[in-house]
Amino acid sequence: MSKKVFVGLSGGVDSSVTAALLKQQGYDVTGVYMKNWSRDLPGHPCPWKEDYQDAKRVAVQLGIDFLLFDFEKEYQDKVVDYMIEEYQAGRTPNPDIMCNQEVKFKLFLHAALDKGADMIATGHYARVKNSEISKFEIRNSKLGQLHVAKDTNKDQTYFLYRITSEALSKTLFPLGDYTKPEVRQLAKELGLVTATKKESMGICFVGKVGIKDFLSQYVTTTPGDIVDQYGRVIGQHSGAIFYTIGQRHGLDVGGGLPYYVIGKDMGKNQVYVSTDINDPALWTDKLNLTNMHWINGEPDGEQVVQIRTRHRAPLVEATLQVVPANTTGSGSTLQIALSSEIKSPAPGQSTVIYQNGQVLGGGIII
């Protein structure tokens, strides 16, 4: 009997080709649309109905069963509320990472298994490799390892680093061995209705909504001072919550050289900027991470690795050292020494740790 796989069908080309490939490979495929958000925002109607219909059309084309899983309440609790709280604290979270951790590879996985699936699959560009657990563990069990995709430009492992090895061992990423142009060509050859559909670049499952427009619906902000590197007030901002370290555009202070955000004080409601691209606040050769997640266990001792602080950022060689949990019980942190300076990432963003193409894990920048 062929394995039963539930495929997350988002209504886009990647998940459509994923389902088609798995059916060609002999799997018993069921398409699932995850309804995580349906709320319209002013000037930004939610595209979920259109995406749902596209996903359903693909399922009909492929002759596979089709289901809808409603995770809207959980998505609000686990992703949206988290994102809002982080921004209110002055940090810059990544909702896509939290969505993968809490929704796609936890809620979706468990719901699929409860309905008789053996595995799940998504249209992410990444690869899973399964390795045997040591002889001290359960015989024939496997641990899932996360590896970068063939298409390094499209690789999405940055967003997937908080998945557990157990979830990975029950996950298929068929697109990991394809490039994006190859996937588009496959979709055209198969005649899929989503073959020419454009990608959604907005917030995870929310559509083409900018973060400022989204947050404005949930938080009340007050104008405050924009202060330059000399302590001079040079303008006003619409809310410190909307600004992030390194930001250049959207400051609206005008005149001469461009300004870069080098810091902010949520208590004083001030945003600090500099015209000096070499300002020390904009560069760093070390990182401190908390809320660590290791896919296949914490590394022993110092390790030479590569790190990435944002999607598609170049890999940077680094040395990491785990600092034991302190007496306050706040958990272990990770210190990373970089081989060269990088632009300072904002607190709240993720740093993902790689070694020879494998994702070891990562954490949240302090």
Which residues form the catalytic set?
Answer: 99, 204
CA–CA separation, 359 and 208 (whole Å):
29
DSSP string, 225-243: EEE-TTS-EEEEES-GGG-
Residue reference for tokens 């949930």: 218
Sheet containing strand 224-227, strands side by side: 233-237, 224-227, 270-274, 260-265
- The rounded radius of gyration (Å) of the Cα atoms in the chain is 22
| CA 218 to chain CA mean position, Å | 22
Q: How many CB atoms lie within 10 A of CB 343?
A: 14
CA–CA separation, 122 and 321 (whole Å):
33
* Token reading at 283: 């560069």
CA–CA separation, 110 and 123 (whole Å):
18
* Token reading at 105: 């590879």
Pairing state of beta strands 270-274 and 260-265?
A: antiparallel
Is-contact 215 87, C-beta < 8 A? yes
